[in-house]
Amino acid sequence: MAESQQDLIFNPFIATVLCSLYILLLIGGLIGNIALLFAVISRSALRRSSAHCLIANIALVHCFLCLTSIPFTVLPPYLGGWYFGWIACHVAFLVTSAAVINLALTIITLAAERYYSVIHCQQDFVIFSSRYVCVTVFLIWITANLISLPYAAYASYETNSNTTAVPQCSENFPDTPRKIFWTTTFLMTFSIPFLIGLVIYRSVFISLAQTVFMEKLRSVSVARDAAAERRTSLVALKISVMLGVCWLPLHLMNALYDFAGISLGRYGSTLHLAVHIIALTSVVLLPIICFRGDESFRASAGSALKKKEVDNGDKKPTPFVTKSQNEPLLEWL
């Protein structure tokens, strides 16, 4: 293959930059999101709100993206084919699509939880109660995987095609169903969640800023609760905006491929990996937003680490101290 026709991802400099960014996203995303999960799980059940549990679900989805989307996206172009088997081919399409839909459904649920928690000043809706939030998260995962089944079903694994002898994993969607599926997922994973979130959070912050609401804060404890609700709502809004901005370029590139039929030639794979990296920056930005925006996450992680240090300290053997180390030497004479 001539150098002028070779894909840019095989350029040594570009390959080094792309692989370095993916490694940073993999390491930083796993460490940050596991720390976020640890901060939520370490909280007592009485102090663990539904919003924190939903944010923890986003962190869990990000962990799955780090472990599946990154290797399954960056390795095949450089390996020259798909060497993970036919099961992994279908699983890769299923996990990637389900993760994006899971994020969108969680964002909508988080916005609705903020609406009921702040405007109604209570969590009386059963799916948003801290007791049933695990059931809500489970239903989100089931729904996301069911919606993604057609995408995984049309994944094609070929070990001996007409153009190449190496195994290949690709999308084999017919033209019309692919456009319908893309339009539906785009509306579900970007347009509708973003618009619903903006409307809900506008109402939430208006409610928090109203003078009538502030006049009800007659005690320090109530004022502290209102400040905590404001911090949590602000963090939830930042997460929604961040996910929308990070994943928009990838949605737009998919639209160019599916609807406009634009082929970018030797720049196609490079631009695809670039927008994929932009989308996955959300795995690093989520822990930063949570730990900087809400001190309860930092306090939970810090207290859990201190408790672990104390527990480890209690298990240390007590050093043997002789009498000569505690009493003067003259007592021995």
User: What's the pLDDT tens digit per position in 107-122?
Assistant: 998 988 888 877 776 5
252 within 8 A of 190, measured Cβ to Cβ: no
Q: How far is it between the farthest Cα atoms of the chain?
A: 100
Residues 17-49: tens digit of each pLDDT:
999 999 999 999 999 999 999 888 887 655 567
What is the arithmetic mean of pLDDT over 59-64? 94
Query: What string of DSSP letters covers 264-286?
Result: -GGGHHHHHHHHHHHHHTHHHHH
> Could you tell me the two tokens for 199?
């409307």
Provide the mean pLDDT of the chain: 78
Q: Are 120 and 129 in contact (CB under 8 A)?
A: no
Q: Is residue 304 predicted with pLDDT exceeding 50?
A: yes
pLDDT in tens, 142-187: 999 998 888 888 888 887 655 556 788 887 777 777 778 778 878 8
Q: Which domains does the chain have, with CATH numbers?
A: 10-301 (1.20.1070.10)
Contact 18, 9 (CB under 8 A): yes
What percent helix, strand, coil does the chain show, rounded to 5?
75, 0, 20
For residue 45, CA distances in Å to 11, 42, 129, 133 come to: 52, 9, 12, 12
Looking at residue 126, its pLDDT comes to 53
State the pTM of this model: 0.82
- What's the pLDDT tens digit per position in 237-268? 899 889 989 998 888 887 777 776 666 666 77
Can you say whether residue 85 is alpha, beta or left, with left for phi > 0 and alpha for psi between -120 and 50 degrees? left
Asked if residues 140 and 57 have their Cβ atoms less than 8 Å apart, the reply is yes
Question: Which pLDDT does position 21 carry in this prediction?
Answer: 94
Contact 282, 304 (CB under 8 A): no
